[in-house]
Amino acid sequence: MLHISPSSLVLLPALAKIVCEPNWKWQKREKPMANYDLFYVWSGEGEVRLNERPYEVGKGSCFLFRPGDHTSATHNPQKPLVLTYIHFDVKEEVRVEPEPYRVLQETVEFEHLLSRYVRMFLVKTFAAEEEARLVLKLLLIHLLRADMESPVERRGSNQLTEAIHEIANYIKQNPGMPHRVEDLAQRAQLSPRYFSIKFKEMTGLSVQSYMIRTRIERAQHLLMHAGMNVTEVADALGYRDIFFFSRQFKQYTGKSPSEIR
């Protein structure tokens, strides 16, 4: 579905986020599905049968039911399913489809897109259908990406993300330290060049810019809330030249340190 244009997606009426009643069950249909249905589990426990194959489902379980599929479902009344389903069709030929089932490990972005899709129709947002087609295409791309990446690639990507975030947090916790890119890269077990590239990709700033911004943000806090004067703040944050500190502070905030204090 990567190749299809959003305009070829036909949005059908069935869409919702629901908490299933204790006695809820989705009866097997006599006729197979005529269209597509994106079916996502936010929480709860249950079983979905797809073409007679059972799947134990919980948070992150995601199906893409296709035309011709036979489906049914039940759930644990003590742990009812919370679901979102999006019913749609495609006007052009589909060459590559996401896998019919997967469990998403990283759910935040996917759930944000689902909520956005449903909310647009609940509040009758202007140009809702046009935007909904784009959001639905993003959801399908998300599933295709999850299918195309190998478990090793996903695990490696997760570890890299964690390493970069750990370094960014380390810089924030120690804004006055004279951090060297080489030392930070070693801490992340990456080469300095690769570390610098990935750091900027994930934070939107170069390592140097991130360090400066962190120092200035800490300086603002100290000036406003710690009762420290400009010289004391500059010294605490590793500046040996108060005039350089003042110039950099004004460059980032638009005000001199004395104006903030």
Query: What pLDDT, on the 0 to 100 scale, is given for residue 205?
Result: 92
What is the arithmetic mean of pLDDT over 29-48? 91
pLDDT tens column, 118-152: 888 777 778 888 999 999 999 999 999 877 764 44
Sheet of 36-43: strand order equals 9-19, 82-90, 36-43, 61-65, 101-103
- Bridge partners, residue 240, by sequence: none
Residue 150 is predicted with a pLDDT of 47
CB 215 within 8 A of CB 237: yes
Among 9, 1, 185, which Cα is nearest to 91's? 9
Helical segments of the chain, H only: 108-122, 128-148, 151-173, 181-187, 192-203, 207-225, 230-236, 242-253, 257-260
pLDDT tens track for 65-81: 999 999 999 999 999 99
User: Tokens in use for 3?
Assistant: 């190749």
Handedness of CA 45, 50, 55, 60 (dihedral sign): negative
Mean pLDDT over all residues of the chain? 87
| Residue 153 pLDDT grade (very low, low, confident, very high; cuts 50, 70, 90) | very low
Tell me how far apart the alpha carbons of residues 79 and 22 are, in angstroms, rounded to a whole number: 8
- Decide if 14 contacts 38 (C-beta within 8 A): no
Decide if pLDDT at 158 tops 80: no
Please tell me the number of Cα atoms within 13 Å of 60 on its side-chain side.
Answer: 9
Q: Place 63 in a pLDDT band, splitting at 50, 70 and 90.
A: very high
**Amino acid code (one letter) for 79:** K
CA distance 149 to 215: 38
pLDDT score recorded for residue 154: 47
Q: What is the pLDDT of residue 261?
A: 64
pTM over 0.75: no
Question: Running DSSP on this structure, what letter comes out for residue 7?
Answer: G
Bridge partners for 79 per DSSP: 76
Closest CA to 144 of 108, 95, 111: 95
Domains detected in the chain: 6-148 (2.60.120.280), 150-261 (1.10.10.60)
Show the tokens assigned to 247. 């110039």
